[in-house]
Structure 1
Amino acid sequence: MGALNIKDADVAKKARKLAKLKGTTITAAVSEALDESLRAAANDREAREKRIDEALARFRAAIPPDAPSYEEIMEDMYDENGAPK
């Protein structure tokens, strides 16, 4: 069992107010609030990852099939020593 000491008076006041509004203990109120926040953060991350995946799919779909690869582009731009051609 871990201990948590809240030194910010405003945070402690909010925790007490939340517990009173919910009719529960401060510990239970804080635990529930943290659970809700963790779920929201996980959902936000999943949504962000989905948007990134969708953007990458659109980007990849826009690349012509005969487009040169990264390696081919680099070979055209730089010599074997890494100097620009």
Structure 2
Amino acid sequence: MSSKEVIPKQIGVWKGSGVMDMKMILPLILLQAILMVIGLFDLLKRDPSRIRGEVKWVWALVIVFVASAGPIAYFIFGRKQS
């Protein structure tokens, strides 16, 4: 079997995806980016004594690498109440 015969079958798997799928995913991507920026900004300006564990770099990793749950976890669990 040549590669010319395989390519149409592989492309057929993606049939139906396109602009409509992107319109559905784009708001989620924007929400993730906004949450991450707001979380990091708040973390950077907050005094370390007002952060649980007082270790900013750990919370920065959580915010960046734990998708949407990271910034939400920081806002709920990472900040100490004044």
TM-score bracket relative to the smaller structure: 0.3 to 0.5
Query: Greater relative contact order (Cα 8 A, min sep 6): structure 1 or 2?
Result: 2
With normalisation by structure 2, the TM-score equals 0.37
Flag the structure with higher helix content.
Answer: 2
Q: Which structure is larger by alpha-carbon Rg, 1 or 2? A: 1
